[in-house]
Amino acid sequence: MNKLAKANAIQHGREGVKGWYYQLPEINKGTTVAYAEFTDEHGERTIGERSRIYYILEGKGEFVVNGEKFSVEKGDLIPIPPLATYNLWPTKGPLKVLLYMEFLDFGK
């Protein structure tokens, strides 16, 4: 596989977030790369055994990771460790991110 076109991505959305999931089942025992645009709070999540990595493409926002709150902006990289609880939200305009995460199996 050389390329995943947006036409082959899985569109997702709910109030406050929209974007696309790119599925890579053959990489690192399954990986999903997501593009997302947040206009509201993500909602608190606790992740599993694999880290997540957010890259801020555009905008400003705040993250809370395991109770530690910090500001983010374009160009920042935010690693979320395994088993962490986190949340995020934009503070100025939409917060556009690229997310590297565990494989989301939409076939289940």
Range of the domain at 92: 6-102
The answer to whether residue 90 scores a pLDDT higher than 60 is: yes
Residue 107, domain member (yes or no):
no
Residue 1, domain member (yes or no):
no
For residue 83, give the CATH number of its domain.
2.60.120.10
Residues 6+ away with beta carbon under 8 Å from 102: 30, 31, 32, 47, 48, 50, 52
Q: How confident is the model at residue 108 (pLDDT cuts 50, 70, 90)?
A: low
At 30-65, the pLDDT tens digits run 888 999 999 999 999 999 999 999 999 999 999 999
Residue 88, domain member (yes or no):
yes
What are the C-alpha distances in Å from 25 to residues 2, 64, 94? 14, 29, 29
Number of domains in the chain: 1
Residue 84, domain member (yes or no):
yes
Residue 38, domain member (yes or no):
yes
Q: How confident is the model at residue 73 (pLDDT cuts 50, 70, 90)?
A: very high
Residue 70, domain member (yes or no):
yes
Residue 92, domain member (yes or no):
yes
User: Chain-wide mean pLDDT for the chain?
Assistant: 92
> What pLDDT is attached to residue 26?
83
Residue 39, domain member (yes or no):
yes
Q: Are 47 and 80 in contact (CB under 8 A)?
A: yes
